[in-house]
A and B are shown apart, each in its own frame.
Chain A
Amino acid sequence: MVSAGYAEVIKQKIIELSFTKIAGEAGRKGDLLVTREAGREIAAHLTSLLLGKSADTCMILDFADVEFMDASFADEVFGNLVVARSRRQLEPRCFFLRDLNETCLFNLRACLDSRPNREDQLLRNSFVPVIVNANTIEFVGKYENHIFETFELLKKRKIITTHDVMDAFSVSMPAASTRLKGVYDLGLAIREEIRDEQGMQYKYYWPL
């Protein structure tokens, strides 16, 4: 059964935060984000902010007031964050970036595209989801196709289960379950534990 009530709850758990304000809380001006050292200061604050929210909260980091962000800063904040997340060193937390101007996006891409080459160990999924417009979310960085496919399915249907993924992609139940867990661990979905006649399962919700 679709838990429509929970879908409404999710909508209430979307938090929109100005990244400029986050930077300000860490002692920076926030409109021009430069250097690795400044990134370090803000990264600590951002991580603590993310982990301070519950797992069913989705944060939208708004860059509308950020005029410029260089690649070093982006690497220290988002590069390290996605690496930690990819290596499961960080609890799953849902966040998206929004309203990056062309230069900020260019520099974010520069750091995340090159990050796998600068790591000693293999990185599978090290990306940040960026809201480009009402209909498009871009994964900036490295990602596996099945993650993107499953995410697009979730975007289309808003609520999916293992059975939906099995049917959509003709994969086994373990494979479908792995896909969905992957999407969840990468902060791209909210999930609800459901107990019904079939036992315990998860429903995955579109977080936005």
Chain B
Amino acid sequence: MKIDISYLSEPRDFEVLYEALSNAYDRGYHGILAIDLSDCRFIAVPGHMALITAGRFWHQLTGQPISLMNIAPDIHAYIDRMLILDRCSKYIQIAEDLTLEKGFLRSAATVKLLEVTSIASEVKKNVCDVEAVVRQANRILHTWFPNSEERVGGLLTVLAAITENVVHSQDQGFVMIQRYQTLGDALGSRVDIVITDLGIGIEESLRPRVETMSVPERQLLFPKGSDYLIYALKQGVSRRATGGGMGLHQVKELVGQWHGQLLIRSLASKISIDERGTVIQEDLLTYVPGTQVVFRVWGSWLASDMALC
């Protein structure tokens, strides 16, 4: 069975992908699912995260991978460069026997991006994974922003927070970072940090805290699923057993300070915060287990000018 995906740029495109996948399963198809990308000219990092999420979800449902077909050469080269096929081979395959004509160079000196990196949920392994990814990102970010410790520190704060949160998911997470040079002077560059897991979701991870509330209080605070995501962003929310609960609040604060964007999707709900601070909640989406987070900021990232617009 094949599904056609023309765009994987915006969050609404990801919903098209998830819905198509869910429909295919509901119709009784449980084999390798082909994703036709013939109309897709560019996929940003959140789109690749959506593909990984879809691939893992399909594999979880059927035991089979998704298979990407009719991929543009640039996209193929990028997928290869990001090690998506290498590290997610169980979930994502390439349909045709493509020859990678022009690969992107990869070497120890290549520091333009953080390839897809696995983050464990088991506590001890999570420490090692988070430390390793923060260490690598620290090196990368210092080459991107050599004169801006504040920006580097803030981005590392976001990265540490969302990767450590994988512990609560009880599932493996995958994280990526990419910097894009945008056209036009107004925006400068863009940095995307994305993470995905197929774990228990934010609502379930807040259960120890929520269970201490009375039923009326719970009904008042959480009439819908996305209200759990809003709650998770509040300062001082504690997962009582672990004492945590600050990470997403810090991420939200930095999004606000830097006029960035934040998207958090968990199970069948989503919240998005745009650069003006407007919060949109969406519910009754296609159910996809786990949590996906997209953090995005823009700025004039020239070495001599660290001012953000």
Whether the pair A107, B157 counts as a contact (CB closer than 8 A) is yes
Contacts of A36 in B (CB 8 A): 164, 242-244
Q: Count chain A residues whose beta carbon lies closer than 8 angstroms to a beta carbon of B.
A: 25
Pairs of residues from A and B, 6 with the lowest C-beta to C-beta distance, nearest first: A103-B153, A117-B236, A70-B160, A118-B238, A114-B236, A37-B127
Whether the pair A75, B134 counts as a contact (CB closer than 8 A) is no
- A34 touching B134 in the complex, CB below 8 Å, given contacts A70-B160, A102-B153: yes
A185 to chain B, nearest CB (A): 24
Whether the pair B149, A32 counts as a contact (CB closer than 8 A) is no
Taking beta carbons and an 8 Å cutoff, which residues of A are in contact with B? 29, 32, 34-38, 67-68, 70-72, 75-76, 101-103, 106-107, 110-111, 113-114, 117-118
A37, A70, A71, A103: residue with the most chain B Cβ atoms closer than 10 Å: A70
A19 to chain B, nearest CB (A): 16
Interchain CB contact (< 8 A) of B149 among A38, A103, A110, A111: A103
Q: Mark B236-252, 1 if CB is under 8 A from A, else 0.
A: 11100011111101100
Task: Name the CB-closest residue of B to A36.
Answer: B244
A36 to chain B, nearest CB (A): 6
CB contact list, B126-154 vs A, under 8 A = 126-127, 130-131, 134-135, 138, 149-150, 152-154
Contacts of B127 in A (CB 8 A): 34-35, 37-38
The answer for the CA separation of A88 and B303 in the assembled complex, in Å, is 49
Whether the pair B123, A37 counts as a contact (CB closer than 8 A) is yes
Q: Mark B174-202, 1 if CB is under 8 A from A, else 0.
A: 00000000000000000000000000000
Taking beta carbons and an 8 Å cutoff, which residues of B are in contact with A? 123-124, 126-127, 130-131, 134-135, 138, 149-150, 152-154, 156-157, 160-161, 164, 235-238, 242-247, 249-250, 253
The answer for the CA separation of A35 and B126 in the assembled complex, in Å, is 8
Whether the pair A101, B149 counts as a contact (CB closer than 8 A) is yes
10 interchain pairs (CB within 8 A)?
A: A37-B123, A38-B127, A67-B138, A68-B138, A70-B157, A71-B157, A71-B250, A75-B243, A102-B149, A117-B235
Task: Name the CB-closest residue of A to B165.
Answer: A72
The answer for the CA separation of A36 and B243 in the assembled complex, in Å, is 9
B79 to chain A, nearest CB (A): 29
The answer for the CA separation of A37 and B131 in the assembled complex, in Å, is 11
- A32 touching B135 in the complex, CB below 8 Å, given contacts A68-B153, A70-B161, A103-B156: yes
Contacts of B250 in A (CB 8 A): 71, 107, 110
- A111 touching B246 in the complex, CB below 8 Å, given contacts A35-B131, A36-B164: yes
Interchain CB contact (< 8 A) of A29 among B131, B138, B149, B156: B131
